[in-house]
Amino acid sequence: MAVSTIDPNGLNVGQFGNRNMVINGSMAVAQRGTSFTSQTGSGYFIDRFRVVQTDDATWTYSQEADAPEGFANSFKALVTTVDGSNDASDSQFIRHSLEGQDLQHLKKGTADAQSLTLSFWVKCSGTGTFIAELNDPDNNRTISKAYTINAAGTWEYKTVTFEGDTTGTLDNDNAESLRVHWWYGAGSDYTSGTLATSWQSRTNANRAVGSSVNIPTTSGGYFQITGVQLEVGDTATPFEHRSYGDELARCQRYYYRLAGVTAGNSGDGAVGTVACWDSDSAFGTIYYPQYMRAAPSMSYGANLSDFKIFRAGNQYTPTSISTTGRCVDRAGVLFQNTGNIVAGQAAWVRIVDASNGYLAFDAEL
């Protein structure tokens, strides 16, 4: 294992591009929003980073402007109500997932299996030992490494190297084949064994052994990361900065939100033109800006009143919104309003609530 707090910016590796396997490691893209309060469950908040939560704490998850030099954003998990029960089965970590077809160069399951180095910046309310983990769901295998946070409330740079795994090949498909975990809360079900410092069949008791800080039980506790990079080899190289447009396009393979009028989305909130099928139904096609990982699910904002159907000088609130079919490049969407739609006419759909209205297409791992 290699653990370091030394910034490697002196390395001259600028000629090597596309080495960071992590998407949105700079935490720049936040299509879902920038702050989520009163959270008590797992989910995606900032793009491509999922919080896995099984404790009883209440959290605020947010994209922050607080970041180390060279970065503009970070992702923060903040305890607002502590976990009072502290059950053995409690777990709390951030996950980043990768597709199997993007991992074939790791040569997993062969004698030439490649080592991986994870580097990141971290800031935390507590000091002590924390655990970074790689998890292989295709073969139910895992490896964990410890690192130390030395000073509370201070950005520190960490690198952790994981040896290659000579057992179990990764599926060559668009499904999840590798998970990166940053643990910051673990009950005894995950700490009572021997830390899995080499690849082994997953045993929960071995995954977070030695973790000395349990953020969910700390009032005002927080865990914050940015500058995340995962690359082949046993040496961390300087963070591979990509343009915002490049990161957004990569994120939109997994999640795309068509939002209303916001500061970053000027215009009139138009969704598009729809064709009226009968007196109740209007159909339209939405094309995603990127081919998505798989046919996505569709959801919309909390209120149907966030949308309006405009027809012949009148506007109507949809009584339902649903999908008629989804592909990796487009979705058919059905807007209904009983009795106010005329077959053979065209209509226009807008999102009228700039704060809450959206259509979302989700193909996350």
Domains of the chain are 3-251 (2.60.120.260), 255-362 (2.60.40)
Instruction: Determine the pLDDT at residue 7.
Output: 45
> Which residue ranges of the chain lie beneath pLDDT 50?
1-15, 263
Instruction: Determine the pLDDT at residue 10.
Output: 46
Instruction: Determine the pLDDT at residue 159.
Output: 98
Three-state helix/strand/coil letters over the chain = CCEECCCCCCCCCCCCCCCCCCCCCCCCCCCCCCEEEEECCCEECCCCCEEEECCCCEEEEEEECCCCCCCCCEEEEEEEECCCCCCCCCEEEEEEEEEHHHCHHHCCCCCCCCCEEEEEEEEECCCEEEEEEEEECCCCEEEEEEEEECCCCCCEEEEEEECCCCCCCCCCCCCEEEEEEEEEEECHHHCCCCCCCCCEECCHHHCCCCCCCCHHHCCCCEEEEEEEEEEECCCCCCCCCCCHHHHHHHHCCCEEEEECCECCECCCCEEEEEEECCCCEEEEEEECCCCCCCCCEEEECCCHHHEEEEECCEEECCCEEEEEEECCCEEEEEEECCCCCCCCCEEEEEECCCCCCEEEEECCC
Instruction: Determine the pLDDT at residue 3.
Output: 43
Instruction: Determine the pLDDT at residue 264.
Output: 54
Instruction: Determine the pLDDT at residue 9.
Output: 47
Instruction: Determine the pLDDT at residue 262.
Output: 54
